[in-house]
Amino acid sequence: MNGYGLRKEYGEAPFELSHIAPVRGRASIGLFRADNLVIAPMSLNRSHSTKYYSGGASIPRADLLPRFAVSEDAKVSEVVQRVIKLIGEDVVEAVVQSRKIKPSKRQALYSWLVEHLDPANPDHTEHLKTIETASARILANVKRELEGKEPARDFRAWLDYHNDTSVLLSEWERIGKAYRPELLPALERIQFLFANTNSRFSYNFAFDVIDLRLVFDMLHGQPVHTVTSIIDAMYAKALASPVKYQPTEALVSVVGQPLRASLSVTESFLEGLDDCTPYIAPNAFYVDSVSVEREVELPPF
């Protein structure tokens, strides 16, 4: 269990897959692909609506073929079968075999219930209505009920779930490594800060509402300097309370160096550089990725 789904069950707003290039763009439709998706808090995704900054992946509306249209009330299982038919069952089977792909826990439970639930049995009517969208935990309890077993005990009180900050940081790293390498130096500044302060700083750290929006916007195509002020404030906070956060000599020496223009900036950074001179990050902060361990070596500044 990755903890993402627990938020809704605990009364917290869930995460959603947010599109970089919007699905309902005027001239194009954003694709449901990893390079066009960001896992993000629902509130940020909903307020973002159909805005578009840059990047992502889309297809022009003029290139859409009517025969591939999917109605809004179509079941997921029906859409999957259409996709398999389009690709070819032999191709799908070959990929499954070669990659040793196994059904997810939810899919395995769903398939079992489809075989064992009887539409003619009135006791199964409600289950048949809900299994299409039910979680794996609910499906498991339905299966146990059909087998005459007691529902599984709920141990979720001992499980942790992701917060907005941890999810956006994870997406920052994923997108930076796979699609936008210019985002990584800024993230490495944060990693370096966490590695060179005590656990109290990283454990209690969380982006506020404004910072969450700025990080969200950056992940949706805004330039990396959008978040420079956030990181600068983090450094200032750590150094302002040395007794509380215990910054290392490495951190103090890095911050104490004079500001210099970065020797390596990317095209997306340069696009807004003329209007954002104060946001240029010092070269000293562009360090190699640092593991969050207490033992760190001085970065090669």
Single residue among 34, 64, 94 that ends a domain in this structure: 64
Query: What distance lies between CA 170 and its chain's CA centroid?
Result: 6
How far apart are alpha carbons 214 and 53 in whole angstroms? 13
Single residue among 14, 35, 64 that ends a domain in this structure: 64
Q: For position 289, what pLDDT does the model report?
A: 42
The amino acid at 136:
A
Closest CA to 187 of 219, 222, 161: 219
Q: For position 272, what pLDDT does the model report?
A: 42
Q: For position 234, what pLDDT does the model report?
A: 95
Q: For position 152, what pLDDT does the model report?
A: 61
Residue 93 lies in a domain: no
- The crossing angle, in degrees rounded to 10, of helices 228-240 and 209-219 is 140
Residue 189 lies in a domain: yes
Inter-residue contact 39 to 171 (CB < 8 Å)? yes
Inter-residue contact 21 to 31 (CB < 8 Å)? yes
**Domain containing 52: what range?**
1-64
**Residue 47 structure tokens:** 């307020």
Q: For position 1, what pLDDT does the model report?
A: 37
The DSSP bridge partners found for residue 39 are 17
How far apart are alpha carbons 94 and 79 in whole angstroms? 20
**Total residues found in the chain within this entry:** 301
Q: Which residues of the chain have pLDDT under 70?
A: 1-12, 152-161, 256-301
Residue 179 lies in a domain: yes
Q: For position 256, what pLDDT does the model report?
A: 65
Q: For position 160, what pLDDT does the model report?
A: 53
Q: For position 32, what pLDDT does the model report?
A: 94
Residue 136 lies in a domain: no
Q: For position 252, what pLDDT does the model report?
A: 92
Q: What's the distance, Cα to Cα, between the start and end of the chain in Å?
A: 41
Residue 144 lies in a domain: no
Residue 7 lies in a domain: yes
Residue 78 lies in a domain: no
How far apart are alpha carbons 16 and 37 in whole angstroms? 10
The amino acid at 244:
K
Q: For position 168, what pLDDT does the model report?
A: 96
Q: For position 43, what pLDDT does the model report?
A: 93
Q: For position 5, what pLDDT does the model report?
A: 57
Extended beta strands in the chain, E state: 15-19, 28-30, 37-41, 58-60
- pLDDT tens for residues 206-227? 999 999 999 999 999 999 999 9
Inter-residue contact 284 to 301 (CB < 8 Å)? yes
Single residue among 14, 39, 64 that ends a domain in this structure: 64
Q: Report the domain count for the chain.
A: 2
CA-derived radius of gyration, the chain:
24
Residue 69 lies in a domain: no
Q: For position 172, what pLDDT does the model report?
A: 98
Burial letters 165-189, b for 16+ CB under 10 A, else e = bebbbebbbebbeeebebbbbbbbb
Residue found under tokens 């390498």: 181
